[in-house]
C-alpha cells in the first residue's frame, strides 16, 4: 500500500521558536497533500491543503502566516509552525490521496509540545 | 451547520461478538463516505469507502452500509478480536475535492 512518512515524530520546542514538520509520500507522487491537527480526545481538523507548485489554501480560522506550508516537490510538503505558543501543542498529521483514488494515506503524525 | 456524529465515545464488547458503529451526518451531501482506523498516537489508516449509490460494502470481517435518505452509515466488525481494539473514524468529502471532515470517532475495546 501507499506509504506516507512524517518527520519528526515528536518535537518539543520553546515558546516563540519555529518548528518545521516534513511530510513525504514514499512510493507515489502527490500533487496535493493535506495537513490536519488533532487535540486529545478530539477528531482531526483540516488545517490546509498543500498544492505542489502553488500556494496552499487554508481552512477558515487557520492563520496562514503562522502555519507556513511549502510543497516543493511531488513527494514533499512541509508545515512550519512559526512563533509557537503552548496552545499550538497538538498532534499534526498529513495525508495524501493517490492519483485516481479517493482514499487518503496518512502519515504517522508529529506530536508537538511547546513549553 | 454541518455535523458528523458518531455513536457513543466508547464501545466495549466480548471477543467473537459483532461491534456496530454509527455515523450520522447533517447538512452534507457526500458522494462517498469513508471509514478509518486510528490507533493511539498514530495516523488514521483507511479501511473502506462506500459510494452514495452503494448500499453495502464488505472487506473481510468488516461491513459498511450507507443510507443517504437517513444520512447514516453503519460500520460492523464481525467475529471481533482483541486486535480490533482501536478508534474508528467516519469521514466525508462534501465537495469531491478530497478534503475530509471527520467524526469524533468511536473507541472500540474487544475483551478476550
SS (H, E, C) chain B: CCEEEECCCEEEEECCCCEEEEEEEECCCCCEEEEEEECCCCCCEEEEEEECCCCEEEECCEEEEEECCCCEEEEEECCCCHHHCEEEEEEECCCCCCCCEECCCEEEEEEC
Q: Please report the pLDDT score of residue B46 as a whole number.
A: 96
**A43 interaction partners in chain B (CB closer than 8 Å):** 89, 102-105
Tell if the CB–CB gap between B104 and A102 is shorter than 8 Å: no
Q: How confident is the model at residue A35 (pLDDT cuts 50, 70, 90)?
A: very high
Question: What average pLDDT score do residues A65-89 get?
Answer: 96
Interface test with B, best of A21, A34, A38, A44 (most B CBs within 10 A): A44
- Residue pLDDT, tens place only, B56-106: 999 999 999 999 999 999 999 999 999 999 999 999 998 888 899 999 999
A42/chain B closest Cα distance in angstroms: 6
What does the pLDDT read at residue B95? Answer: 83
3-state per-residue secondary structure call for chain A: CCCEEEECCEEEECCCCCEEEEEEECCCCCCEEEEEEECCCCCEEEEEEEECCCCCEECCCCCCCCEEEEEEECCEEEEEECCCCHHHCEEEEEEEECCCCCCEEECCCEEEEEC
Q: Is B70 on the interface with A (CB under 8 A)?
A: no
Amino acid at each position: 500500500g501507499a506509504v506516507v512518512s512524517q518527520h519528526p515524530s515528536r518535537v518539543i520546542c520553546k515558546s516563540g521558536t519555529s518548528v518545521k514538520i516534513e511530510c513525504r509520500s514514499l512510493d507515489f507522487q502527490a500533487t496535493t497533500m493535506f495537513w490536519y491537527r488533532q487535540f486529545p480526545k478530539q477528531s482531526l481538523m483540516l488545517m490546509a491543503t498543500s498544492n505542489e507548485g502553488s500556494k496552499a489554501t487554508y481552512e477558515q480560522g487557520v492563520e496562514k502566516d503562522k502555519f507556513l506550508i511549502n510543497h516543493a516537490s511531488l513527494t514533499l510538503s512541509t508545515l512550519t509552525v512559526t512563533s509557537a505558543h503552548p496552545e499550538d501543542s497538538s498532534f499534526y498529521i498529513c495525508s495524501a490521496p493517490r492519483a485516481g483514488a479517493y482514499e487518503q494515506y496518512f502519515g504517522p503524525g508529529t506530536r508537538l509540545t511547546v513549553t | 451547520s454541518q455535523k458528523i456524529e458518531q455513536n457513543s465515545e466508547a464501545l466495549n464488547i466480548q471477543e467473537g461478538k459483532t461491534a456496530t458503529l454509527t455515523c450520522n451526518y447533517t447538512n452534507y451531501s457526500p458522494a462517498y463516505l469513508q471509514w478509518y482506523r486510528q490507533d493511539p498516537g498514530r495516523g488514521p489508516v483507511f479501511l473502506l469507502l462506500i459510494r452514495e449509490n452503494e448500499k453495502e460494502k464488505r472487506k473481510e470481517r468488516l461491513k459498511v452500509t450507507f443510507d443517504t435518505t437517513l444520512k447514516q452509515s453503519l460500520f460492523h466488525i464481525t467475529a471481533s478480536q482483541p486486535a480490533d481494539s482501536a478508534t474508528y473514524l467516519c469521514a466525508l468529502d462534501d465537495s469531491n475535492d478530497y478534503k475530509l471532515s471527520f467524526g469524533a470517532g468511536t473507541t472500540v475495546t474487544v475483551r478476550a
